[in-house]
Structure 1
Amino acid sequence: MGIDTDIIAPENWQAALAALDWQVELGVSDWVLDEPVDRYALPDRLTPAAPAKAGASPPLAAPVVEKADPLAEARAMAATAQSLEALREVLASFDQCELKKGAKSTVFADGNPKARVLILGEAPGRDEDIEGRPFVGRAGQLLDLMFAAIGLSRSAPDPGQALYITNVLPWRPPGNRDPEPEEIAMMRPFLDRHIALVDPDFIVLMGNTPCKAALDQSGILRLRGQWTTAWGKPALPMTHPAYLLRTPAAKREAWADLLSLKARL
């Protein structure tokens, strides 16, 4: 609404003020111009910046925070470890892997570090996460029986009869899912250093994940029983004991693989 200047004389300001008060009481908040205005077509109005004072320093830009490279950090940390105990400590302090947040334990290794045979597993399961040792559930019990049949044990003090066991990943994936390629790559520097410190004569790649980490290959049923090389060592892919529990008929092939390892020893 607006005031009709044709009926209110310019000099009669009291009448004009009364008319304005009357319109305010009616709820008028905006003046209506002679021509409509399309506010959607108006340019955005920016608040002008306050003029800088003479001699004032320009505003500082916000610092750019660079994200840490998990793989580079893993390499740097692993390289500092000069012993297995030091490697255990730096691995436990590595916080870039999301698996660590959901795990109860950092599962490092078990057995005799002077053993000629190193068994490389996939990742901890529920029982391993609880106890903090690799291969302690039903699959671990079967693994102990399998290698005892060729005279090897994780508790043997003699390196010629001993086993050393570790995993590609030290933390349990949620729901016992398969490790992701990015997780394997992130933990590979620690695994490389681990195997270099133990320096075994033979490596048993127990399952698909170790084959991916060591050979960049998968398909354990195709790879098993065929000697290859990993970390400069003779390596033997074998089916995981958990698979043997699900597929008892495959135990015959696993026994053949054990005999192949015994012959090499």
Structure 2
Amino acid sequence: MKNWDELYAECMDCRRCSLADTRHNVVFGEGARDAEAMFIGEGPGEQEDLTGRPFVGRAGQLLDDMLEMIDLRREKVFIGNMVKCRPPGNRDPLNIEQEACIGYLRNQVALIRPKIIVCLGRIAAIRLMKDDFKITREHGQWMEKAGVWMMAMFHPSALLRDPSKRPESFVDLKTLQAKIREICTHTYND
């Protein structure tokens, strides 16, 4: 396992898959290095690729609003993606791209040691929770895996496309808030 600086440097120079050929920036992820909650999406979008920061476009603004609804601040959690480079046209990351990048995410999880991982969207849930995960049926449900509590929510971009899912997402957020209050010690402290 690499330390934070080694992992960051390796990730910034990564050429393990063809996404390196089309990226503007590697999107390493950001937030507290001791975060008790991690939010993991599938991959960066256009604004993320241009800025090198996760969830900064329209979906990111919605994610910030969602966090605010449950009194969370971006600085208190860690926000990242399974793949660190933007898939062309915002397509789903291919299995070969996920495989090339998953070690970086595993190393981040090992360093941060979160109590909770929230998968943002179906792709992250399938990869991190279980391979037959059904987001429409299983969002908001908790699963414990290797001592970490995990749940999936609709990806913020899905909520932008289909606002009718927002009430369900609000319920998921309240479920998340309750779990954070139950098992986390410093997520809400200033």
Normalising by structure 1, what TM-score? 0.65
Select the structure of larger CA radius of gyration: 1
Q: Does 1:103 align with 2:23?
A: yes
1:193-212 matches, cutoff 5 A: 193-212=107-126
User: Please, which runs of 5 or more residues in structure 2 have no aligned partner?
Assistant: 181-190
**Equivalent residue, structure 2, for 1:248:** 163
**Equivalent residue, structure 2, for 1:172:** 86
1:29-44 matches, cutoff 5 A: none
C-alpha distance in 2 between matches for 1:206 and 1:230: 17
Shift in CA distance, 185/212, structure 1 to aligned 2, threshold 3 Å: farther
C-alpha distance in 2 between matches for 1:231 and 1:220: 21
Q: Does 1:235 align with 2:155?
A: no
| 1:50-104 Cα shifts (integer Å, max 9, x gaps) | xxxxxxxxxxxxxxxxxxxxxxxxxxxxx3x1x2221111112221211011000
C-alpha distance in 2 between matches for 1:256 and 1:189: 32
SS in 1 for 2:78: strand
1:65-104 matches, cutoff 5 A: 79=1, 81=2, 83-104=3-24
1:128-143 matches, cutoff 5 A: 128-143=48-63
Normalising by structure 2, what TM-score? 0.90
Q: Percent identity?
A: 37
Root-mean-square deviation (CA), in Å? 1.3
C-alpha displacement of 1:185: 1.9
Runs of at least 4 residues off by over 2 Å: 215-219, 229-232
C-alpha distance in 1 between matches for 2:135 and 2:31: 25
> Higher relative contact order at CA 8 Å, sep ≥6: structure 1 or structure 2?
2
> 1:146 is aligned with what amino acid?
M
C-alpha distance in 1 between matches for 2:92 and 2:116: 25
Q: Is the 8 A contact 1:224 1:238 kept in 2?
A: yes
C-alpha displacement of 1:114: 1.7
Q: Is the 8 A contact 1:121 1:166 kept in 2?
A: yes
C-alpha distance in 2 between matches for 1:232 and 1:168: 20
Q: Is the 8 A contact 2:36 2:77 kept in 1?
A: yes
C-alpha displacement of 1:209: 1.7
C-alpha distance in 2 between matches for 1:106 and 1:195: 18
Q: Is the 8 A contact 2:40 2:117 kept in 1?
A: yes
C-alpha distance in 1 between matches for 2:72 and 2:132: 27
C-alpha displacement of 1:231: 4.8
> 1:124 is aligned with what amino acid?
P
C-alpha distance in 2 between matches for 1:107 and 1:200: 20
Shift in CA distance, 196/123, structure 1 to aligned 2, threshold 3 Å: same
> 1:214 is aligned with what amino acid?
L
C-alpha displacement of 1:187: 1.4
Q: Is the 8 A contact 2:67 2:74 kept in 1?
A: no
User: Please, which runs of 5 or more residues in structure 1 have no aligned partner?
Assistant: 1-78, 156-161
C-alpha distance in 2 between matches for 1:191 and 1:232: 17
Shift in CA distance, 230/88, structure 1 to aligned 2, threshold 3 Å: farther
C-alpha displacement of 1:219: 2.7
Q: Is the 8 A contact 1:211 1:217 kept in 2?
A: no
